[in-house]
Homo-oligomer: A and B are copies of this chain.
Amino acid sequence: MSEFVRNQWYVAAYGREIGRELFSRTVCGESILFWRTEAGAVAAMSDRCVHRRFPLSQAPSHLAGDTVVCGYHGFTYDQGGACVAVPGQTRIPRTARLTSYPVTELDGFVWVFIGDRANAGSTRVPRAPWLDMPGWTAVSGMEPLAARYSLLVDNLLDLSHETYLHGGYIGTPEVAETPIVTRVDEEAGIVHVSRRMADAACPPFYAKSTGITGRITRWQDIEFTPPCLYLLHSRIAPVGVLPGADGADPDAFHVEVVYALTPETEHSTHDFWAVARDFALDDQGVSGFLEENNRTVVLQDVAALNVLERVIAAEPDGYQELSINIDTGGLAARRLIAKLR
């Protein structure tokens, strides 16, 4: 019985990953072939030849113009997945057609629709505009996670772990100490978790990138749109500096931390991460620092969750957890995900 939430858009790749080489990525257990047509559009179709299931991403399979040629027996498909040539005969069977997938490129991501394609048009694609917006600059990456998607949801919705798992990077004692406010927008299907620290130590991640040397006012406002897109609106300012009555906030630093959580299999996840900022836009040193530092933080999560996956896979069914206040965001996310499923 699949745990995947279907009839949803998922991030399959960064746009920069898809070009004129055949590219395969598994999303929600489905092996999908991606490539870019000569006109620049992203094509997405099943990565299994209809003949004998050979992966179309596997050499010597190759692109020939806007067709894909299977490397085993030469079955050839167009960008919509229709078979246009087979070996040894001119008649092409009517049923020779690959499943194709709705695709859209937004905010630097390639989104793919998993489920009944009739539902694709009416299903919202969540946005992360800061990744590709004037006045902002971003770094990003993707780390493969050998753990189930739900462990990453738990991880990101409860940032008190920053204090322990990411001490010396993004965590300080105040994160774990400060209570959270959780709010669920049932209609929009969004979980909001806020932690606002009025007077906190500034972790290296923000000290080195902003240049702030003293203590800070630090806001963490999470906005999670299940199943795939997680935004952390992060505001850092010297202690006492607050937005104006009109909402203007010129003296603070704003960072948008974006995660796309895409199930690969029941026990593995694509962990896309990006960090956008509205300061030091052209400073390559800051970009390099944030990219390296955030990747380190993500890899700390990956290491911990990979361990946790092995632990949980070995637990008997119905193993016990104990939840406390910090878990209200994660529990709300689980509830919304179960509802989507």
Q: Are A160 and B48 in contact (CB under 8 A)?
A: no
A86 within 8 A of B: yes
Scan residues 90-128 of chain A and give those whose CB is less than 8 A from a CB of chain B: 93, 95-96
Q: A54-B304, A311-B53 are in contact. Are A74 and B324 (CB under 8 A)?
A: no
Closest Cβ of chain B to A296, distance in Å, is: 13
Q: Choose from B58, B87, B154, B322 the contact partner of A176 (Cβ within 8 Å).
A: B87
Q: Choose from B87, B312, B324 the contact partner of A93 (Cβ within 8 Å).
A: B324
B residues less than 8 Å from A160 (CB atoms): 73-74, 87-88
Contact mask for chain A residues 152-168; partner B; CB cutoff 8 A; 1 contact, 0 none:
00100010110111010
Which stretch in A64-72, A213-221, A239-247 binds the other chain? A64-72
Q: Are A324 and B51 in contact (CB under 8 A)?
A: yes
Bound CA–CA A68/B319 (angstroms): 22
A315 within 8 A of B: yes
Bound CA–CA A177/B177 (angstroms): 72
Q: Are B176 and A69 in contact (CB under 8 A)?
A: no
Closest Cβ of chain B to A263, distance in Å, is: 15
Q: Are A53 and B319 in contact (CB under 8 A)?
A: yes
Contact mask for chain A residues 18-35; partner B; CB cutoff 8 A; 1 contact, 0 none:
000000000000010000
Q: Are B312 and A53 in contact (CB under 8 A)?
A: yes
B residues less than 8 Å from A158 (CB atoms): 73
Contact mask for chain A residues 194-216; partner B; CB cutoff 8 A; 1 contact, 0 none:
00000000000000000000000
A52 within 8 A of B: yes
Q: Are B322 and A71 in contact (CB under 8 A)?
A: no
Bound CA–CA A85/B307 (angstroms): 23
B residues less than 8 Å from A324 (CB atoms): 51, 86-89, 93
A250 within 8 A of B: no
Closest Cβ of chain B to A84, distance in Å, is: 14
Scan residues 286-312 of chain A and give those whose CB is less than 8 A from a CB of chain B: 304, 307-308, 311-312
Q: Are B325 and A164 in contact (CB under 8 A)?
A: no
Contact mask for chain A residues 112-150; partner B; CB cutoff 8 A; 1 contact, 0 none:
000000000000000000000000000000000000000
B residues less than 8 Å from A315 (CB atoms): 53
Q: Are A307 and B60 in contact (CB under 8 A)?
A: no
Would you mind naming 17 contact pairs between A and B with Cβ atoms under 8 Å apart?
A: A48-B311, A51-B322, A53-B315, A54-B308, A70-B164, A72-B161, A72-B164, A73-B160, A86-B324, A87-B160, A87-B163, A87-B324, A88-B177, A88-B180, A88-B324, A89-B179, A93-B322
